[in-house]
Amino acid sequence: MTFGARYSAAVADRGRLCVGIDPHAELLEQWGLPVTVDGLRTFAQTCVDALGPVAAVIKPQVAFFEVFGSAGFAVLEETIAGCREAGALVLADAKRGDIGSTMAAYSSAWLDDASPLCSDAVTASPYLGVGALDPTIRLAAATGRGVFVLARTSNPDGQGVQTAVTSFGTSVAQSVVDAAAAVNADGSGTVGLVVGATREHGLDLSRLAGPILAPGVGAQGATPADLPGIFGDSADPAWVLPAASRSILRAGPDGSALAVAARSTRDEVESALTV
């Protein structure tokens, strides 16, 4: 199956929501866990058990595992495997971006079956040029996996770069969108985009034919009710994948409460995006 088909099947079965697993120190402490590898493992396993059977997509934030070194990566491997075994698609939020053989190595780490970190998709930065992501896009297409490329992020520092006008007369962010749409013209949905849900993005997403990860719901201030206004006129709502992390994770450490929070957010999203 292509990634677009796998995505569509997942959200048809479980609804449009990506839940982040962000085990930063504040949340570990809030859960009464030590900021150690043991605390990390308990946190991650609780999330796997509670969210793996519920969410269409689960997005581990790689940095919060990486901070613990090799032991943290071991927990990340367990987390990825557990979520996938529970039926969720796993989007590794690694935001890799480089050139040549280095980018090819990053691609193999996150998208190759032989890697213990292998996920269903990975986030990537296009700001060394979208063409630099070709090794990742090729491997994703060959394996039925996806690449979510940063287009219009919600952080204020990104605005100057992303809204700058290229020599072709479009914004840098729109040029990323157009490049993704060109890849997806084959119907594969291989390339998704990251477009923040916290403000107007000014992009034409109508031809993307791929998933749009929309972070910012919950703790960053966006609500499900905001989504039609942000994406309604520019994108097919079937491809919009809102993401929430802290607003759901704060329901822990009780696994049942985590699952309830995820279902509640998903239902609000579905109500807002269903015409």
pLDDT at residue 183, rounded to an integer = 97
pLDDT at residue 219, rounded to an integer = 67
Q: Which of 6, 24, 84, 95 is catalytic?
A: 95
pLDDT per position as a tens digit, 164-207: 998 888 999 999 999 999 999 999 999 999 998 887 788 999 99
Asked if residue 126 is part of any domain, the answer here is yes
- Spans in the chain with pLDDT lower than 50: none
Asked if residue 182 is part of any domain, the answer here is yes
User: Could you tell me the two tokens for 2?
Assistant: 């292509």
Asked if residue 274 is part of any domain, the answer here is no
- Measured from the Cβ of residue 253, the count of other Cβ atoms closer than 10 Å reads 18
Split into its structural domains, the chain has a count of 1
pLDDT at residue 109, rounded to an integer = 98
pLDDT at residue 267, rounded to an integer = 97
Asked if residue 273 is part of any domain, the answer here is no
User: In angstroms, rounded to a whole number, what is the distance separating the alpha carbons of residues 87 and 165?
Assistant: 41
Q: Strand pairing of 18-21 and 146-152? A: unpaired
Among 195, 265, 254, residue whose Cα is nearest residue 55: 265
Asked if residue 151 is part of any domain, the answer here is yes
Asked if residue 88 is part of any domain, the answer here is yes
Asked if residue 157 is part of any domain, the answer here is yes
Asked if residue 234 is part of any domain, the answer here is yes
59 is catalytic: no
CATH of the domain at 22: 3.20.20.70
Contact 189, 2 (CB under 8 A): yes
Structural domain of 212: 3-268
